[in-house]
Amino acid sequence: MISSRRLFLKQTSVAGTAAVALGAGLLTPHALLAEWNEAAFKEKDVDAAIKAMTGSSSSEESDKIHIKAPDIAENGGVVPVSVTSDLEGVTDILILAPNNPVPMVAAFSLGEGAEAFARTNIKMGKTGDVVAVVKAGDKTYTARKAVKVTIGGCGG
Amino acid sequence: MAKSSIKLRAKVKDDVVEVKALIKHPMESGNRKDKKTGEAIPAHFITEVMCEHGGKTRLSASLSGGVSKNPYVSFKFKGGASGDPITMNWKDNKGGSDSVEAKIK
């Protein structure tokens, strides 16, 4: 995972008190865990969020990424999504929901020996696509799948 | 010690270890409002989940408030054997954390 420190600091300073409170915890050095990429998780634009997370601005559609998600989600609060890929050398798998207030939902950074597979449950506020981004080598690949949500998951 | 918030299962099948974890956490996105008072419910969600085995980081995942309450995380890796210890830990945006150790089945 690549994060720009400059961008991170810049965004933290403008995003107001909530972000500062968040940032305080994030700036504590910890040796083992990768730094949570706040910039990517605040970005409202899908492409920009992908770029903030992977450092790559262009990605191509790939049919070697397989998204397993329901066609119709009765409960937007729990939408099971699994992503697998036939691509070689996959290092990162990102799951995004472009129609959510924050499109970047989860980012899996695969360690040594890890297979190109990730599964989790996500929230979807309304009907829309689930976008999977796979980083393999220096390139990023994307795939999407439409999910119809009958009850929203972000509440309000 | 209190019961861990993480339920961790790891199973070997055809040389591949499948790890499944269920974590107890509210995962508040910060976008919701209290229906009675109208006040915003502050964000409280897991930001990082990490899984280690054999001295190696097998997965480090970043999550957001867009992941469902009591998140489920699953992944697979090669190089594990039955009986090996495997650990998982998480951190949230409020400084909370927890960890658990299990054995691969």
- C-alpha span between A97 and B77 (Å, rounded): 26
Task: Specify the CATH architecture of the domain A56-149.
Answer: Sandwich (2.60)
Q: Is the pLDDT of residue B34 over 70?
A: yes
CB B8 within 8 A of CB B19: yes
Under the banding of pLDDT at 50, 70 and 90, the label for residue B1 is: very low
Query: Of B49, B17, B12, which is closest to residue A120 (Cα–Cα)?
Result: B49
The chain-wide mean pLDDT, for chain B, equals 92
ipTM at complex level:
0.91
Q: Is the pLDDT of residue A93 over 80?
A: yes
Amino acid at A25: G
User: What was the pLDDT predicted at A7?
Assistant: 61
Instruction: Identify all chain A residues contacting B50, using CB atoms and an 8 Å cutoff.
Output: 32-33
Where are the domains positioned within chain B?
A: 6-32+40-103
Mean pLDDT, residues A87-109 taken together: 92
Mean pLDDT, residues A101-114 taken together: 92
Query: Of A36, A42, A40, which is closest to residue A24 (Cα–Cα)?
Result: A36
Task: Specify the CATH architecture of the domain B6-32+40-103.
Answer: Sandwich (2.60)
User: What was the pLDDT predicted at A60?
Assistant: 87
Tokens 């999504």 belong to residue: A81
Question: Which residue spans of chain A are classified as CATH 2.60.40.2470?
Answer: 56-149
Mean pLDDT, residues A15-23 taken together: 44
User: What was the pLDDT predicted at A35?
Assistant: 72
E-only strand ranges, chain A:
59-61, 65-68, 72-73, 79-85, 90-96, 104-110, 114-122, 128-136, 139-149
Contact at CB, A121 and B67, closer than 8 angstroms? yes
User: What was the pLDDT predicted at A153?
Assistant: 55
CB proximity A109 to B under 8 Å: yes
Closest Cα in chain B, distance from residue A99 (Å): 11
Express each pLDDT in A34-57 by its tens digit: 578 888 888 888 888 898 888 887
Q: Is the pLDDT of residue A122 over 90?
A: yes
CB proximity A14 to B under 8 Å: no
- C-alpha span between A20 and A11 (Å, rounded): 10
Residue of higher predicted confidence among B25 and A29: B25
CB proximity A31 to B under 8 Å: no
Q: Is the pLDDT of residue A24 over 60?
A: no
Q: Residue B10 belongs to what H/E stretch?
A: strand B6-13
The chain-wide mean pLDDT, for chain A, equals 80
Under the banding of pLDDT at 50, 70 and 90, the label for residue A119 is: very high
Q: Is the pLDDT of residue B78 over 90?
A: yes
User: What was the pLDDT predicted at A86?
Assistant: 94
User: What was the pLDDT predicted at A19?
Assistant: 42
CB A56 within 8 A of CB A49: no
